[in-house]
Amino acid sequence: MLFKKIRDRKLKANDAVLKRISGKPIRYAAARDQNNVETILGKAGRIVLTDTQVQINCEGTVVYACDKKGVEISELISLGGARITGNCDGETKAVTVYFTYFNK
């Protein structure tokens, strides 16, 4: 019972972050491998949230897609981006996206 409440609280927090970052334009998306080498997946894109998937589209192509059910999203401390970890093609992949800033 106690662990169910903790899991439900995590899922609610995860859904809140998903709603907040859905549709935000991103400057670029990057993935890091085991040797801590960062690879740029794409630039000038957007985070797309569908019924079953979380996708990152850059320059018209899908550079990352994972199931919405097992995704973990956490915003960076600076709130200038987010870290998305999820099951993609049978393996767990993590991508860091950096948001575009608009001066108003």
Say which CATH number the domain at 40 has. Answer: 2.30.29
Would you say residue 104 lies in a domain? no
Q: pLDDT band for 40, please (50, 70, 90 cuts).
A: very high
Query: Residue 2 and residue 4: Cα distance in Å, rounded?
Result: 5
- Give the confidence band of 49 by pLDDT, cuts at 50, 70, 90: confident
Q: How confident is the model at residue 18 (pLDDT cuts 50, 70, 90)?
A: confident
Evaluate whether residue 40 is within a structural domain: yes
Does a structural domain hold residue 62? yes
Q: Tell me the whole-structure pTM to 2 decimals.
A: 0.79
**Contact indicator for 59, 41 with CB cutoff of 8 Å:** no
Q: How far apart are CA 2 and CA 35, in angstroms?
A: 38
Residue 82 lies in a domain: yes
Using DSSP, state whether 66 is helix, strand or coil. strand
Count of the separate structural domains present in the chain: 1
Residue 85 included in any domain: yes
The domain of 75 spans 2-99
Residue with tokens 């890091």, as numbered in its chain:
32
CA distance 50 to 73: 15
